[in-house]
A and B are shown apart, each in its own frame.
Chain A
């Protein structure tokens, strides 16, 4: 069965420093992987998705993620954090050929001035 593990429930960074949000997945088949962001009192927004094309995926707002099959990881990064990046981030996996999307437990990102 598919699953995702977000290794950090909370991450704090200073504005202007890099962001790393970690995600490991488990899937018996070639997975598709996504990152969603949820700002306070707002809906969920897709940041980026990986669907077996290029392993380095670029998303919105300067975020990107790299699919590493050997490490079963799909970590989200951004070179320089902005105050507006403070939000909760969810890593999501779906197995190819299914319609099930399994969410991780989320990582709350705090950006310090």
Chain B
């Protein structure tokens, strides 16, 4: 069966420090991968999605970047965190057919202080 792993679960970082959040999927190949940020009252904001290795689509101009170095690995990064980067980050995957169900990781609560 397919599983999605996301880590760390919580992270406290100072302003200006770098960030690396990792997400891996097991039990499937060529998944579509997604990074969302969840903020109270704002729902889930799509940050990045990827349909293949090295293919990244950015939805919101911001201080973050994403990379997909392997088929089932998706990384969210920042060179210098801002206070406004605080939030709950969710990784998700779906099959490579259109309009499929999203499977979510357990999320990372990031606090930038």
Contact = CB atoms under 8 A, between A and B. Distances in A.
Interface residues of B, number: 23
Contact of A102 (B46, B94, B106): B46
20 contacts: A6-B43, A34-B101, A49-B99, A51-B99, A94-B99, A96-B99, A97-B98, A98-B98, A99-B49, A99-B94, A100-B46, A100-B49, A100-B57, A101-B46, A101-B94, A103-B36, A103-B44, A105-B41, A105-B42, A105-B43
Interface string B24-51: 0000000010101000011111100101
B52 to A, nearest CB: 10
A74 B31 CA distance: 27
Contacts, number: 52
A43 interface: yes
Interface of B: 32, 34, 36, 41-46, 49, 51, 57, 59, 90, 94, 98-99, 101-102, 104-107
